[in-house]
Amino acid sequence: MSFSHSLSWAQFFLKGKGLTLCVVGFTLLVLCVNSWTELPVSSIQRRFLRRCAEASGTETTSTEANSIEANSTEASDPTLWQPKIGIKWQIQLEDAVEDVAMGADIFDIDMFDNTAAKISEIHNKGAKVICYFSAGTYEDWRRDANKFTESDFGSALEDWPGERWLDVNSSNVRTIMQSRLDLAQQKGCDGVDPDNIDGYGNDSGLDLTEADSIDYLNFLASEAHSRGMSIGLKNGGDIIPSVIENMQWSVNEQCAQYDECDVYAAFTDVGKPVFHIEYVDEIGGNNKLKVRDVTSSQKSAACNAKSAEDFSTVIKNMDLDAWVEYC
């Protein structure tokens, strides 16, 4: 690990013996941490220095904190919305939202299916709105579907009719996504939930790599932030260390089922929420489940997953309609 972007040690020594000793300990800590943690070391550095400053009666300035993380492109705009860990949320992607009086603090809803008036109604109830759209796949029913070209497309998605993987390196695809972010801003979305950014882990037919997704996510983050909107990472556990600084949250599906919630806990470790979804099995071939259909064992598995104690967990059916069960 390189300390070329860290604060000069002289700065710390001038701030008192307590901070000096703390920094010496920090040096040893980082050498160990870098060998076993998946968290970005810069995040650990920043938190540790703040603790040192508190313990020694000094303050670590924002300039000092930023100098530790010269590689970060996270927006510094304090007006960007940063939701708190453990906040109650609801996700409904099927049809427009009808019931906004269910007590959720955040609604994750389809950007195309919901009007600016509906988003305003949700705001009037005191809740925030995350607007969902697919950033990594073409959907033939969307109003801007005709803007894509054949060269933008990869393979069709199995079990998802009308969808094809997108070349996230395409300048045309990125221009379309900029227009979608314009629409989200016009409708009053507080943040965006770009889906299907993990083409690198699927049979996309485009030979996409993790580096492609990292570049694309950071591009989307920059564009969202410039429009005053927050953004989250949808799944994509493999690329968390390379994008977490630019994300305000994670939306994860089924980390309890696949025993990988510890990967997404990287977000809560740095003060950012994980909006966690677990799906219940179909019963009698009907995916429109009611509360009574969720067994105690299903609920326990979803709500008591290892490393997910600080997650905002919902139990949903695969349709992602209005039905929801909370822990």
Take residue 59 and report the two structure tokens written for it: 């303050």
* CA–CA separation, 318 and 308 (whole Å): 21
Residues shown for the chain: 327
Torsion, CA 60, CA 63, CA 69, CA 73, rounded to 10: 140
Residue spans per domain, the chain: 9-68, 89-326
**Mean of pLDDT values over 221-230:** 99
Strand order across the beta sheet in which 163-166 lies: 137-139, 163-166, 153-156
* CA–CA separation, 286 and 301 (whole Å): 21
Q: State percent of the chain over pLDDT 70.
A: 73
Q: In a 3-state reduction of DSSP, which class is residue 158? A: coil
* Per-residue model confidence as pLDDT tens digits over 163-195: 999 999 999 999 999 999 999 999 999 999 999
* Sequence-separated (6 or more) residues with CB below 8 Å from residue 216: 135, 136, 168, 169, 174, 197
pLDDT of residue 237: 98
The answer to whether the beta carbons of residues 320 and 251 sit under 8 Å apart is no
Q: In a 3-state reduction of DSSP, which class is residue 82? A: coil
**Is 20's pLDDT higher than 90?**
no
The answer to whether the beta carbons of residues 183 and 132 sit under 8 Å apart is no
Q: In angstroms, what CA-CA distances link 207 with 158, 170, 173, 324?
A: 17, 13, 16, 37
Torsion, CA 211, CA 214, CA 215, CA 216, rounded to 10: 120
Q: What is the DSSP letter of 160?
A: -
**Is 61's pLDDT higher than 50?**
no
* CA–CA separation, 224 and 194 (whole Å): 11
**Is 35's pLDDT higher than 50?**
no
Q: State percent of the chain over pLDDT 90.
A: 67
Comparing C-alpha atoms, which of 132, 89, 117, 90 is closest to residue 322?
90
DSSP letters spanning 175-229: HHHHHHHHHHHHHT-SEEEEE---GGGS--SS---HHHHHHHHHHHHHHHHHTT-
pLDDT of residue 214: 99
Average pLDDT, the chain: 81
Considering the domain delimited by 89-326, tell me its CATH architecture.
Alpha-Beta Barrel (3.20)
* Per-residue model confidence as pLDDT tens digits over 243-273: 999 999 999 999 999 999 999 999 999 999 9
User: pTM of this prediction?
Assistant: 0.76
